[in-house]
Structure 1
Amino acid sequence: MKTMKAVARDDYCSPDALRLGDVDRPVAGEGEVLVRVHAAGLDHGVWHVTTGLPYVVRAAGFGLLRPKNRLLGMDVAGRVEAVGEGVTRFGVGDEVFGTCEGAFAEYACVRQDRLVPKPANITFEQAAATPGSAYAALQGLRGGGPVQPGAKVLVIGAGGGVGTFAVQLAKAFGAEVTGVCGTAKTDLVRSIGADEVVDHTREDFADGRRRYDLILDTGGNRSLSHLRRALTPRGTLVIVGGERKGRWMQGTDRQLRAMLLSPFVGQKLCALMLRESEEDLLFLGKTVEEGKVTPVVDRTYPLGELPEAIRYLRGGHPKGKVVITV
């Protein structure tokens, strides 16, 4: 059996305990593609799956007492190394990107319906930055139905991984976009097309001066009452994430409260239930290829420095995405 370098673990652990080692190299099965990984995207989900926190993550299918999958990483970009029986969409040498189980490795096996061709106008690093965060942005923007031209959209966390995609996609749909971010990210958010930028360290977007048809909260912890003050009477709030300390819910309680309250108010309050979609991935690839969206990569780390990359991400510093190179 051939081996490869990969980040693997047998138990839930601190990211600082992750190490690069040798594991068996996978073999493409029926309907699968073996990808030589060039880059892999990093997001907060990696921390959750590594640590097994909050405990609801374990109950969601990742393994109650220990991880079901030893390997980490989902967003992948690379070249097709081999194809399994029944694969008709790709051939050896094709450049692809998509999602898999075990992207933080030299090779990964991926179902062919979870891959699409990599746009020629972006790098492998940019391609790897795209799937998960762009899925979240796209599906979050659709939370209240298709974004209509002229709609007023507020993106909270506009300078982060999901936020940078959300701003650009909303503009591509013809919306009037306001981005909320910290001082260090205001120039970036303007540069990717936001019509207005709110520095949350200096002003409050819910001060009553303006209301929005759609608010996409990509990682704040503001109360529902605060967020609702900035919504139109029939507006939609989509909560994409939230990071708070806690071993059980860790931010998901806010999503649950939103869904419970929504039937009793005129506004639509919902939490994003992210799903993988070949149709959405093809759409995102086309949007990137047409230049309507450009993935923003803050910095890259080699595979052996995954713990350092996670620390940087968890510190809230990235302007856009952090990517692991292989």
Structure 2
Amino acid sequence: MKAAVHTRYGPPEVARISEVDDPAVGDNDVLVRVHATTVNRTDCAYRAAKPFFMRAATGLTRPRRKVLGTEFAGVVDKVGGGVTSLAVGDRVFGYNEGAFGTHAEYLSVPEGGMIATMPAGMKFGEAAPATEGSHYALSSIRKAGVQAGQDVLVYGATGAIGSAAVQLLKCFDATVTAVCDTASLEMVRGLGADRVIDYTAEDFTADEQRYEVVIDAVGKTTFGQCRRLLKPGGVYLFSDLGPWWQNLALTLVTPLFRGKKVQLAVPQQDKETALHLRKLMESGRFRPVIDRRYPLDQIADAYRYVETGQKIGNVVIDVVPPT
């Protein structure tokens, strides 16, 4: 099968198209003919092995798994003998961090993993980006214990995580203030934000409003910058380790004192999460935002674009040309 392969860590150019063996299918696995996948921040981090400690899991000197990719949408091509909930021909989407392999024509994934059938009428390119940013956003919302009527600020509301967070927070009936640039103001309002701050026109940290929760969805702020925005007992959640990995230390230190604190959200990667996201998409309450699409042969270009930090929502890779 054709796949995007990397045999060393490095810049986007290390990803090249090559022929590799089809993945093995165990008794409890399904083989998916991948129609669409994505390139996201998670993929970029694993490809470059940054931060360095990631190599403890991925391989110290070279990657153990040559085919990357976390998100997918496609058609079940084969099922193992123990599979009962999915069948050949099912249109599915999901997330496969750790095992990876979605940047390829075929993917083997456990039946009990983060996989579900697609909403009726949804296209593969629309379903593929439904999991990465959203499951990070959902984990932050749940970790913070967001309740109806609470005030939440989302910094970086145009990325995969931020655009999902705005929509998912409205599912929790929170009051959402979103921070983005001028060009994205109307798009973010369309996602459901109650209030939008243009960071190119004003300093969002000088905002007079106070919040129960601040979510940095792009990893470009610090707790020190955002602390004054929090109400007493408020929570700051992050999507990056921060300067000198300070956010990890702050998750340990700030809970020792009464008042504002930093929390680390550990995302759930299970079937229940995929089913929950499907339900939200079926109801129309969540739709992943798509910026650009590339064919698999141009995946290095997709990596380059994602790493500019300018993408709006998600970047989709068409493994099978859409019809």
Normalising to structure 2: TM-score of the pair? 0.93
Displacement of 1:126? 1.8
Displacement of 1:268? 2.8
Q: Counterpart of 1:136?
A: 136
Q: Counterpart of 2:315?
A: 322
CA RMSD of aligned residues (A): 1.5
On the 8 A contact 2:211/2:230 being kept in 1, the answer is yes
- Secondary structure of 2:247's counterpart equals helix
Q: Counterpart of 1:297?
A: 290
Q: Counterpart of 1:64?
A: 60
Match of 2:305 among 291, 308, 312: 312
Does residue 196 of structure 2 align to residue 197 of structure 1?
A: yes
Question: What is the alpha-carbon distance in structure 2 between the residues aligned to residue 151 and residue 121 of structure 1?
Answer: 34
Does residue 53 of structure 2 align to residue 53 of structure 1?
A: no
Displacement of 1:302? 0.6
Indicate the larger mover: 284-293 or 205-214.
205-214
CA 1:208–1:17 in structure 2 vs 1: closer, same or farther (change >3 Å)? closer
1:210-231: CA deviations, max 9, x gaps? 0111111111322311111111
Amino acid across the alignment from 1:124? F
Question: What is the alpha-carbon distance in structure 2 between the residues aligned to residue 168 and residue 117 of structure 1?
Answer: 21
Indicate the larger mover: 178-187 or 9-18.
9-18
On the 8 A contact 1:188/1:319 being kept in 2, the answer is no
On the 8 A contact 2:67/2:101 being kept in 1, the answer is yes
Q: Counterpart of 2:118?
A: 118
- Secondary structure of 2:292's counterpart equals strand
Does residue 71 of structure 2 align to residue 82 of structure 1?
A: no
On the 8 A contact 1:99/1:110 being kept in 2, the answer is no
Question: What is the alpha-carbon distance in structure 2 between the residues aligned to residue 220 and residue 86 of structure 1?
Answer: 42
On the 8 A contact 2:219/2:239 being kept in 1, the answer is no
Amino acid across the alignment from 2:184? K
Question: What is the alpha-carbon distance in structure 2 between the residues aligned to residue 195 and residue 144 of structure 1?
Answer: 19
Output aligned runs, 1:1-326, within 5 Å: 4-59=1-56, 61-100=57-96, 101-114=100-113, 115-145=115-145, 147-241=146-240, 253-263=245-255, 264-326=257-319
Displacement of 1:253? 0.4
On the 8 A contact 1:144/1:268 being kept in 2, the answer is no
- Secondary structure of 1:129's counterpart equals helix
Question: What is the alpha-carbon distance in structure 2 between the residues aligned to residue 106 and residue 252 of structure 1?
Answer: 39
Indicate the larger mover: 221-230 or 72-81.
221-230
Q: Percent identity?
A: 40
On the 8 A contact 1:143/1:236 being kept in 2, the answer is no
Indicate the larger mover: 286-295 or 221-230.
221-230
Amino acid across the alignment from 1:20? I
- Secondary structure of 1:179's counterpart equals strand
1:40-82: CA deviations, max 9, x gaps? 12211211111222211112x1111111111110111100000
Give ranges in structure 2 of 5+ residues lacking alignment. Answer: none
CA 1:281–1:16 in structure 2 vs 1: closer, same or farther (change >3 Å)? same
Indicate the larger mover: 97-106 or 200-209.
200-209
Q: Counterpart of 1:245?
A: none
Give ranges in structure 1 of 5+ residues lacking alignment. Answer: 243-249
CA 1:181–1:278 in structure 2 vs 1: closer, same or farther (change >3 Å)? same
Question: What is the alpha-carbon distance in structure 2 between the residues aligned to residue 254 and residue 201 of structure 1?
Answer: 26
Displacement of 1:200? 1.0
Displacement of 1:184? 2.1
Displacement of 1:272? 2.5
